[in-house]
Copies of this chain bind each other. A is one copy, B any other.
Amino acid sequence: MIEKRDAQSDSSDDEFQLSQHDLDAVNRAIDEGDGNALDAVLEPVHAADIADMIEQLTPPRRRQFLDLYSGEIDGDILSEIDESVRDEVIEQLPREVLAEAVREMDSDDVVDLIEDMEAPEQQAILAALDESDRVAVEQSLTYPEYSAGRLMQSEVVTAPEHWTVGETIDFLRQEDWLPDQFYHVILVDPRRHPVGYVTLGKLLSSRRHIALRDITEDSFRTISARQDEGDVAYAFNKYHLISAPVVDDHDRLVGVITIDDAMAVLDEEHEEDFLRMARVSDESHVSDGPLETARQRLPWLVVNLFTASLSALVISRFEATLAQLVILAALMPIVASTGGIAGTQSLAVAVRALATRELTGANAKRVVLRELLAGLLNGVGLAVILTLAGGLILGDFRIGMVLGMAMIANQVVAAMGGVLVPLTLNKLGLDPALSSGTFVTTMTDMMGFFAFLGLASWVLI
C-alpha cells in the first residue's frame, strides 16, 4: 500500500477549515441563541469556511443558525454555498438581505445562483439588480447550460487598440466600477472585436508612451460563448490561461472567464466522472439524508439485478455439468471477478484518456491493439498461476487448465470491452463514464461463466 502523499495530513487538513475550537464556540452561540457571539466568532472567518460550516450542519441546526445569522450572509458566502443546501438557505434569508447579497456578486455568480430557479424567484432576484447587471445576467442566461456564456462574467476591462500604456493607466485610475479581480486589459477594435490582450504585469512594467499593441501576448485565444464549459476548463489547464475573452456568434466581446472559475469546473467534471464510473448520481452530496441517498443509488442496483440475471441464465444452461461436478460452482466466480477487475482497469484508462483527449481517432487503433495484447499477456500469466494452483491445491491440473483457459478468453474480452465500449459511447455522443461499467462487467461476467463452464463441460465431463 502506498502512503498518502501528505507529510502533515492532520495539521494541514485543519488549516483549511474551521478549527474545533471555533466550531464549539459556534455551537454554544446557537444553543444560547446569542447572535452577537456568533458574529464575533465568524467575523475573521473566510466566506468559504462559513459556507462549508453551513453545509455540514444538520437541517434543524441549520435553521437555528440562520435565525441568528441570516442578516450577515453576504454575496461572498452565498456564492460559496453548495447547491445542495442553497435553496434552503435562500428561503430563510430576509428579502432585503438576499437583494443586497446579490447586488455585491459578479454577474457569473448571480447566473450560477439563479439558473436553476423557477421563473418567479428568478424575477425577484433580477429585480434587485441594477439595470446593467440585470441585462448582463439575462444575456448570460440566453446561452445553453454548461456553456462558456453561463460561466463568464460580463465585467470586462477593455481598451481601444490604439491606446498607449499611459492612457490605459489614466483610464483605470478614473474608473470606479472595475472588477475585483482582473488580469488582462483586452484590446478591442471599434466594433468590439477583441484583437489581443495585455497582461497587467506588462502594463505596469512598461513606460507610458509604449503602445498597447506592442506589448500584447503572443498566445491570444478567444472562447465562443457556446463552447462547453468542460472544454473551456480543459483549454485553461492545457494552455495555462489566466483569463480569456468570450465572444458571441459575431465575434464580439461579451465577457471574460477567469481561471478560478475554470478550475472549479475542472473539479466538478472530475467529480462527475469519478462518481459516474461508480454508478452514483453526481447529484449526491454528503449532506443528503438516507432516503435521498437510497433513491439515488437504487436505479443502478436494479439495472444490476437484470444484468446479473443474464449471468444466472448463462449458468443455468450448465446445470447438468454443475450437478456432476459441484466444485465448479465454487470456482466459477474466480474467472468472472478477475475479468471484472481487468475490464474496469482497461475502462478507467480509456475513459480518462478520452477526457484528456489523449485517446483520439489518431491512436485508437494502436490503443485497442495494445489492450488486446496486454489482456492476452495477463491472461496467460494468470492461467499459469491457476493451472499450478489447480494441481497443487485441488490436486487436479485439468481443472486448473480449464480455469486458466477460461481466464485467457475472459481477460481478452475484458481488455477489449474496456476500451471499445467507451470509444463507442463517446462516438455516439454519450458520456463514456456513465454506463460503460455496466456493459463491461456484464460482458466479463457472462463470458467468465460461459467460458469456464463451457470448457469444463467439454474437457472434464
Which one of A9-17, A34-42, A118-126, A131-139 is at the B interface? A9-17
- Shortest CB-to-CB span from A369 to chain B, Å, is 8
Contact of A284 with B by CB under 8 A: yes
| 12 residue pairs A–B, Cβ–Cβ below 8 Å | A6-B231, A7-B144, A12-B227, A52-B357, A56-B360, A275-B349, A275-B352, A280-B345, A290-B370, A294-B381, A311-B334, A319-B327
**A300 engages B238 (CB within 8 Å):** no
- List, in ascending order, chain B residues with CB within 8 A of A3's CB: 429-431
**B290 engages A8 (CB within 8 Å):** no
**B58 engages A366 (CB within 8 Å):** yes
Which parts of A296-347 form the interface with B (CB within 8 Å)?
297-298, 300-302, 304-305, 308-309, 311-313, 315-316, 319, 322-323, 326-327, 329-334, 336-338, 341-342, 344-347
- Shortest CB-to-CB span from A5 to chain B, Å, is 5
Known pairs A1-B434, A240-B260, A288-B370 / 19 extra A-B pairs, C-beta < 8 Å: A7-B228, A20-B362, A172-B201, A263-B266, A274-B348, A278-B348, A280-B348, A290-B377, A294-B378, A294-B381, A301-B382, A305-B334, A305-B385, A308-B338, A312-B331, A316-B327, A323-B323, A329-B332, A333-B449
Which one of A89-97, A176-184, A189-197 is at the B interface? A176-184
Picked from B205, B311, B334, B373, the residue with its CB within 8 Å of the CB of A172 is B205
- List, in ascending order, chain B residues with CB within 8 A of A285's CB: 358
- List, in ascending order, chain B residues with CB within 8 A of A353's CB: 286
- List, in ascending order, chain B residues with CB within 8 A of A206's CB: 173
When chains A and B are docked, how far (Å) is the Cα of A210 from the Cα of B358? 50
Contact of A392 with B by CB under 8 A: no
- List, in ascending order, chain B residues with CB within 8 A of A309's CB: 334
Assuming the contacts A331-B312, A345-B297, asked whether A173 and B9 have C-beta atoms less than 8 A apart, the reply is no
Integer count of this chain's copies in the complex: 2
**B311 engages A333 (CB within 8 Å):** yes
**B373 engages A290 (CB within 8 Å):** yes
**B46 engages A239 (CB within 8 Å):** yes
**B370 engages A293 (CB within 8 Å):** yes
Contact of A461 with B by CB under 8 A: no
- Shortest CB-to-CB span from A148 to chain B, Å, is 10
**B5 engages A146 (CB within 8 Å):** yes
- With most chain B CB atoms within 10 A of its CB, the pick from A6, A146, A241, A385 is A6
Contact of A267 with B by CB under 8 A: yes
- With most chain B CB atoms within 10 A of its CB, the pick from A180, A240, A338, A385 is A240
When chains A and B are docked, how far (Å) is the Cα of A286 from the Cα of B12? 34
